[in-house]
Amino acid sequence: MAVWSAGLVLLAVGALAGCSDEYNDERGKGDAPVQGKAGDDTPAEVFNMPDGFGNLATKCVGHGFRAYVTTNATGPSNVQIVADKSCGG
**DSSP letters spanning 19-60:** T--HHHHHHTTT----TT-SS--PPPEEEPPPTTS--EEEEE
Side-chain-side CA neighbours of residue 35 (13 Å): 0
Residue 16 falls inside a structural domain: yes
pLDDT: is 78 or 16 the higher one? 78
Residue 37 falls inside a structural domain: no
Domain count, the chain: 1
Give residue-wise pLDDT tens across range 14-73. Answer: 544 445 555 445 555 566 676 777 777 788 999 999 988 889 999 999 889 999 999 887
Residue 36 falls inside a structural domain: no
Which pLDDT score is estimated for 13?
A: 46
Q: Classify residue 41 by burial, with Cβ atoms within 10 Å: 0-12, 13-18, 19+.
A: exposed
Which pLDDT score is estimated for 68?
A: 95
Q: Which helix (H) or strand (E) holds 4?
A: helix 2-18
Residue 76 falls inside a structural domain: yes
Which pLDDT score is estimated for 53?
A: 85
pLDDT above 90: residue 86:
yes
Residue 55 falls inside a structural domain: yes
Residue 63 falls inside a structural domain: yes
